[in-house]
Structure 1
Amino acid sequence: MRLPQIQIRTTDAKIDLDIFKPQQYIKQPSATQHIEQPAAILEINTTRGVLKIDSSQARRDLGLIGPIESSTNYAEKGKQEALKGMARRAREGRQMMENAGKDQGRATIQNIAKQNHGPHRVQFNIKFVPSVGSVKIENTPGTTDINIERREPIIDAKVNKPIHEYTPGKVTGTMVQRPDVDINVIM
């Protein structure tokens, strides 16, 4: 006995695809920025230093004095010498008056002449000219005040959006061969 057989034949489907790729364009423009740095404000205030040097005493020690002071000094010295001379003459006159009646008139005059005659010894010593401390120095230091005011930079930055262009892809298909299933029964 023969059993019936089933015969199945299939035909695959065939599709033709047309593919258009997507296109994408991206560009990032640089940021637009403006940077400005204002100059700092700088103030400098100074007061002058004062240096005073008084050398008038040193100049006097060296004998360098002005005409007014010189004439004043010589006038004073002359006055003192005149007073000394008057005192000496008065003293000598008194000596002569007191000794005149005692037969010592001649001896008195000789004694007075001996006192006024001959070399007068002057004390000799080393003298430092000008004297120590004769130059007076006075210093007032100056000051400097510096004031700096810092100024912040001005930054203006603008971020530009990216340029993005996109064309989507496309796929189209056409059926070239349809699928088919063929079933036969064979006896």
Structure 2
Amino acid sequence: MVKLPQIRLQSQMAQIQIQRTEGKQQISQPQAELTIVQPKAEVSIRTTPGKLEIDQTQAWEDMNLMHISKRNQRFAQEGENALMQGIARRARQGNELMEIENGGNPFVSQAMQNGHESKKSLAIQFIPSHFSVKTSYQPAEVHIEVQTNKPVIDATVRKPEFSYQPGKVETNLKQQQNLEISFTNLLV
């Protein structure tokens, strides 16, 4: 029998143990303080009132209802017109008589004209003529002035709040390495 030497190796690996604690971070944002004040707008309104004018003078005159001075003035004008018409008629008739030798019969025609009064027209005298009442209207004016006021804003900003707890990692040796060497002889 022969003896053969034999080497035996038995090893054990080292083992590392890792323990980890996670870090914690907290962020909070407090609300900002905000105050808003809106002053009222200032409004001023000015109104110029409307103006309506009605003039009935012509309507009253058409109905023969007028002031005495106006009536006297009208009668004076009518008298002057009648006088001028009479003078014109007499001058015309005088000329016709001066030219009697030219023919015609001026005596008869003038007798017919002077002997008969012209017929008076029969008309309703108490109704005024159309558009004899005069009106004028000036509309009202409204002036509006508005003075706006800007809002007063007061804001207090608050910074965010942080809290941080760092994490950590712990390592240690769970199992140590080991190597065992043994020598044995084998009989063969």
Query: TM-score, normalised to structure 1's length?
Result: 0.55
Determine if the alignment matches structure 1 residue 166 to structure 2 residue 167: no
Tell me, in whole angstroms, the C-alpha distance in 2 between the residues paired with 1:137 and 1:17. 109
Which position in structure 2 is the counterpart of 1:56?
57
Per-residue CA distance 1:69-118 (angstroms, 9 max, x = gap): 469959x98xxxxxxxxxxxxxxxxxxxxxxxxxxxxxxxxxxxxx9xxx
Q: Does 1:39 align with 2:37?
A: no
Distance 1:55 1:134 in 2: 7
1:8, distance to aligned residue in structure 2 (A): 4.0
The answer for the alignment partner of 1:154 in structure 2 is: 152
**Does the C-alpha gap of structure 1 residues 178 and 70 become closer, same or farther in structure 2, counting only changes over 3 Å?**
same
Gaps of 5+ in 1: 78-114
Residue 53 of structure 1 and its aligned partner are, at CA, apart by 0.7
Deviation, 1:124, is 1.0
Letter in 1 for 2:174: V
Residues of 1 paired with 2:178 and 2:4: CA distance?
26
Matches within 5 A, 1:77-92: none
Q: Gapped runs of 5+ residues in structure 2?
A: 76-114
CA distance in 1, matches of 2:123, 2:63: 16
Number of equivalenced pairs: 144
> How far did residue 162 of structure 1 move?
1.7
Q: 1:53 to 1:159 in 2, by over 3 A?
A: same
| Correspondence 1:123 to 2:121 | yes
Q: CA deviation at 1:179?
A: 1.7
1:135 matches 2:136: no
Amino acid corresponding to residue 137 of structure 1 in structure 2 = T
TM superposition shift of 1:27: 1.6
RMSD, matched Cα: 3.8
